[in-house]
């Protein structure tokens, strides 16, 4: 059963620490999205990739966030340094450019920054 895998599922860290979240997209999917979900802001698109190339990261705070796809099986979202306002659930989703808009979401990484 193909699915998007995210790690870690839960992370508690202290302000100023580096946080790295990882995502394994579904094999064969060529688009990868990172979303952040909070009660106040809802779902925000942070960044997305097509064929491993970043297409749009305008939703991401550039000074502390970075997103990469080192290879087709791994996407990473890094926060350095982390701040309490980064506390949220971070979702990765993957899709196929041929089935536009149909995304498969991971279960999310719940981040708490103290």
Q: Are 38 and 46 in contact (CB under 8 A)?
A: no
Contact with another protein (CB under 8 A): which of 1, 63, 71, 102?
102
Among residues 3, 2, 6, 32, the alpha carbon closest in space to that of 90 is found at 6
Which of residues 2 and 43 has its CB atom nearest to another protein in the complex? 43
Interface pick for another protein out of 13, 20, 45, 76 (rule CB under 8 A): 45
C-alpha 81/C-alpha 84 separation (Å) is: 10
Find all residues with CB under 8 Å of 113, minimum gap 6, and list them: 13, 14, 15, 17, 19, 82, 83, 84, 85, 86, 87
8 in contact with another protein (CB under 8 A): no
Q: Which stretch, 18-26, 49-57, 61-69, 79-87, contacts another protein (CB under 8 A)?
A: 49-57
Stretch that binds another protein, among 13-21, 65-73, 78-86, 96-104 (CB under 8 A): 96-104
> For 15, which DSSP code?
T
Nearer to another protein, 65 or 91 (CB): 91
103 binding another protein? (CB under 8 A): yes
Report CA 106 to chain centroid distance, whole Å: 9
Task: Enumerate binding residues for another protein (CB under 8 A).
Answer: 4, 31, 33, 42-43, 45, 48, 50, 55-56, 91, 93, 97, 100-108
């Amino acid at each position: 059963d193909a699915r998007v895998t995210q790690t870690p599922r839960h992370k508690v860290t202290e302000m100023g620490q580096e946080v790295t979240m990882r995502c394994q997209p579904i094999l064969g999917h060529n688009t990868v999205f990172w979303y952040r979900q909070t009660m106040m802001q809802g779902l925000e698109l942070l960044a997305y990739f097509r064929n491993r190339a970043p297409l749009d990261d305008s939703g991401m705070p550039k000074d502390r966030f970075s997103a990469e796809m080192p290879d087709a099986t791994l996407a990473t979202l890094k926060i350095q340094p982390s701040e309490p306002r980064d506390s949220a659930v971070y979702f990765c989703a993957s899709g196929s450019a041929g089935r536009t808009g149909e995304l498969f979401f991971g279960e999310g990484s719940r981040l708490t920054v103290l």
